[in-house]
Amino acid sequence: MNIDLRHLRCFLAVAEEGGFTAAGRRLHLAQPTLTRNIRTLEESLGVRLFERTTRRTELTDKGAALRASLTPLLQRLDAALREVQEGETLRIGFSWGLPDGLSRIAARFGEEAGLAVEFVRCDTPQAGLDTGQVHLGLLRCTELPQGLRGVLLCEEPRIAAVPASWQLAERTELDWAELAGLPLIINTVSGTTFPDMWPDGSRPEVGAECRNFDEWLEQVAVGLGVGTAPVAAARRYTHPFVRLVPLTGAPPVPAYLAHPSHGAHPQAARFAHHAWRAADELGTY
């Protein structure tokens, strides 16, 4: 018979709500879709389950019998499915501070999906996706690497990190073009700022290289050069010898939520879409 779970759940919703309109609201289905599912169920069984008039919808004797048998079966099925989900964890990798609000979005998704969502700091080029440590990665890059797919969550403004001992630290703002004349601290693994982002002939020299955010911050602190970072990430980590100075004219930092194109965790694409739809909750200053 051409029957699947959606037909049975539609039937129970109509039976319990006493009508198609209320059942459609409960299931978030348009009434024509709901009606089509009920018709398919009745045709597959070869029996009428509801008596419909312009005023009411009532179960037939066959419909009442099906409801009585089906209700405990679906309850047991739902319980079995919840059991399978228990203990499942969706891991999200990141290299720099998360955009404000993403953890709240993740907590809400985890509650709705019945799983735990865990953030894992991974100092790798793909925030742990390249090593298999995580199911999704927050990647700050101009475009997603080959083999990954995902959503653009937001474009974050940049801020300049300046050694507190420098006179520049007293400025109220800096322009992107001014940084071309200063030594630049480069995070070679997960950084967002590189000399080739400036026009040829007016690019900054590399003051020092590092491999993670903490090293980047310390190298700025000891005066080896300046750096730039997404505002939300930089402000989350303070240092007594580093000043964060507003930056004008700087290109924004694209922030993607990515997962493998093939073999991804079943919930990875769902969470990415969920986060994208809630992206207006992200604080990017």
Question: Residues with Cβ < 8 Å from 126, sequence gap 6 or more?
Answer: 93, 137, 139, 145, 148, 258
Last residue within a domain, chosen from 85, 105, 131:
85
**Residue 120 reports pLDDT greater than 70:** yes
User: Percentage of the chain surpassing pLDDT 70?
Assistant: 98
Q: Are 95 and 123 in contact (CB under 8 A)?
A: yes
d(CA 20, CA 242): 63
Residue 48 and residue 169 share a domain: no
pLDDT of residue 73: 93
Least confident span in 46-50, 53-57, 120-124, 216-220: 53-57
Residue 1 has pLDDT above 80, yes or no: no
Of 70, 51, 68, which is closest to residue 10 (Cα–Cα)? Answer: 70
Q: Which helix (H) or strand (E) holds 136?
A: strand 136-140
d(CA 229, CA 156): 9
When pLDDT is averaged across residues 211-229 and rounded to a whole number, the result is: 96
Tell me, yes or no, whether 148 and 262 share the same domain. yes
DSSP state of 163: E
Residue 57 sits in the same domain as residue 139: no
- Is 49 within 8 Å of 59 (Cβ atoms)? yes
Alpha carbons within 13 angstroms on the beta-carbon side of residue 196 total 1
Strand 136-140 relative to strand 89-94, pairing: parallel
Q: 56 is in which domain, residue-wise?
A: 5-85
Angle at alpha carbon of residue 35, lines to 29 and 38, rounded to 5° = 110
Confidence check: pLDDT of 82 > 80: no
pLDDT band at 58; cut points 50, 70, 90: very high
pLDDT band at 85 (very low <50, low <70, confident <90, very high): low
Beta strands in 49-128 (DSSP E): 50-52, 57-59, 89-94, 116-121
CA distance 188 to 172: 28
Q: What is the CATH number of the domain that holds 65?
A: 1.10.10.10
pLDDT at 96 over 90: no
Residue with tokens 């179960």: 59
The pLDDT value given to residue 284 = 55
Task: Please give the Cα distance from 194 to 90 (Å, whole number).
Answer: 32
Q: Count structural domains, the chain.
A: 3
State the pTM of this model.
0.73
Q: What value does the mean pLDDT take over residues 240-264?
A: 96
Residue recorded with tokens 């969706």: 90
Please check whether residues 81 and 144 belong to one and the same domain. Answer: no
Indicate which CATH number applies to the domain containing 118: 3.40.190.10
Q: Counting Cβ atoms within 10 Å, is residue 100 exposed (0-12), middle (13-18) or buried (19+)?
A: middle
- Same domain for 148 and 261, yes or no, is yes
Q: What is the pLDDT of residue 248?
A: 97
For the stretch 99-117, pLDDT in tens is: 889 999 999 999 988 889 9
pLDDT class for 208, splitting at 50, 70, 90? very high
How big is the CA angle at 178 (ends 177 and 180), to the nearest 5 degrees? 75
> What share of the chain has pLDDT > 90, as a percent?
82
Residues 148-201: tens digit of each pLDDT:
999 999 999 999 999 999 999 999 999 999 999 999 999 999 999 999 999 999
Mean pLDDT for 33-62 is 91
